[in-house]
Amino acid sequence: NIFAKNEAHYNRSQEAVFLTRDHLVLEGATSNIFFVKGNIVYTPPLTQNILPGITREVVIKICRENGIKVKQKKVHYRDIINADEIFKTSSIAGIVPVKKIDRFVVVRKVPGNITSKLMRLYRDKIEYSKLDSISL
């Protein structure tokens, strides 16, 4: 994964995205991938042998707790290119909106409405859990 990440940086990208031979999106070199289409959040399923990211699981849980439809399904590259919103998740960065894929702008408004809401809910959850674990 580090080689893919380095190659992405060499090509002036911030992340490498792994695809199958059939152009199904799997995950980023250091992140999980999500996209929004028609107010539904999509992410590839764990059955595609992707890493079960901690932040990925938290985002799925946040969606379910807040009435945001979330589906784990096989995602084709064209689904991502035609998405309303795209974001990636990782433990270090949290939720990061994506504007470009392969140097093409695919999302005009970054972050989108659902991504913004998830970023806020995620931040609140993280801040709350920090407070919950402080020793006095």
CATH number, domain containing residue 18: 3.20.10.10
Nearest CA among 34, 25, 93 for reference residue 62: 34
The pLDDT tens digits for 47-105 are: 999 999 999 999 999 999 999 999 999 999 999 989 999 999 999 999 999 988 776 67
Range of the domain at 84: 2-132
CB atoms within 10 A of CB 55: 19
Q: Are 122 and 59 in contact (CB under 8 A)?
A: yes
More confident residue, 9 or 121: 121
CA gap 8, 93 in Å, rounded: 17
The pLDDT of residue 6 is 45
Helices (H) and strands (E) in the chain, counts: 4, 10
Tell me how many domains the chain contains. Answer: 1
The pLDDT of residue 4 is 47
